[in-house]
Amino acid sequence: MSNQKGRILVTGGTGYIGSHTVVELQNAGYSVVIIDNLSNSNADVIDGIERITGIRPDFVEADCTDFDALKKLFADYPDIKGIINFAASKAVGESMTKPILYYRNNLNTLLNLLDLMGENDVKGIVFSSSCTVYGEPDVNPVTEKSPIKKATSPYGNTKQISEEIITDAIYAGAPYKSVILRYFNPVGAHPSAEIGELPNGVPQNLIPYVTQAAIGIRKELSVFGNDYNTRDGSCIRDYINVVDLAKAHVVAVERMLEDKSEEKIEIFNLGTGDGVSVLELLESFERATGVKVPRKIVGRRAGDIEKVWADPTYANEVLGWKAETPIDDTMRSAWAWQCRLRERGIM
């Protein structure tokens, strides 16, 4: 039985952003069922969610590309009102060598969900997109109206194609709504240190590498380039706290379920509005934690964008949502999570 606010299906709900969003949905009074194939996460995450919220979300271990498994899930949970779709492969580099896997996972998941939503009276879907759709922007900060650039990786292309699929379905009269959220760079962990990011193998993203270098798992961080056209030569991004990001999903779901959205499809940038360089982020980490990050400057990483940050005004005004956590607090949370993993003997 779901409670008054109704049930949300969270695909990829044991993953990094998914798990933080499940916490915020439950805190807001929603019931949650997670579907995840655990390809890049662990079922222990559900214990962490339960320790934070006091509520254990339902969990179905299955792959969203498996239409029959999804169909059964909808039959077992006829009370699903909305979907948040996090289930996707997300490593840019891997997508260059395994493009078919990326197109299959990311697009078949979405197509299956859209097919089944129509049949099961689901009101809307929140889709995880990315600032990667803007490529290397001509002007910063980027608004939702900034030009979409040709994708530079199969991963990025799956995000662009997914946005187009949802848009086409809705313009063709599909009986549901959608909110597309373009994330900038999600970082940090829940302040309880019960859940956080758990990369497989050598981290590709900055913050997990920073915390692993700081704790001694990695010898040193490679800073990819100090000769960019930026204030200190390193790349600039918009680092958004993962709990702030998770909260935006709750607002987005509420908009769809309570018919507050003005259009059947809405797109929002989710960022802080502040561009922070790699070297500035390292300064913040060291200031916040008192822990040094061993590092060396190396050459540029192929495919990196020089600078991109969000204009989040539209989300601030229309959703009434704002990223609030100071970057130093976010860095402390990332470090607390790394220390917790060490205490548990995981890393």
Nearest to 56 by CA among 85, 33, 72, 39: 33
Three-state SS at 347: coil
By CB under 6 A, the residues from 38 to 97 that bind ligand UFG are 90, 92
Three-state SS at 137: coil
34 vs 223, beta carbon nearer ligand UFG: 223
Across the beta sheet with 31-36, the strand order is 58-61, 31-36, 7-11, 80-85, 124-130, 177-183, 265-270
Burial of 206 (0-12, 13-18, 19+ CB in 10 A): buried
Q: What residue number has its CB nearest to ligand UFG?
A: 235
Kindly give the residue spans of alpha helices, DSSP state H, lying in the chain: 16-27, 44-53, 67-76, 92-97, 99-119, 154-171, 206-215, 242-257, 278-289, 313-314, 327-343
69 vs 305, beta carbon nearer ligand UFG: 305
Does 204 sit near ligand UFG (CB under 6 A)? yes
By CB under 6 A, the residues from 107 to 136 that bind ligand UFG are 130-132
Does 310 sit near ligand UFG (CB under 6 A)? no
CB of 304 to ligand UFG, least distance (A): 5
221 vs 251, beta carbon nearer ligand UFG: 221
Give the number of residues in contact with ligand UFG, rule: CB under 6 A: 21
Does 226 sit near ligand UFG (CB under 6 A)? no
Burial of 132 (0-12, 13-18, 19+ CB in 10 A): buried
92 vs 110, beta carbon nearer ligand UFG: 92
Does 221 sit near ligand UFG (CB under 6 A)? yes
Choice from 144, 254, 304, 329 touching ligand UFG (CB under 6 A): 304
Which residues of the chain form contacts with ligand UFG (CB under 6 A)?
90, 92, 130-132, 156, 185, 204-206, 209, 221-224, 235, 237, 278, 301, 304-305
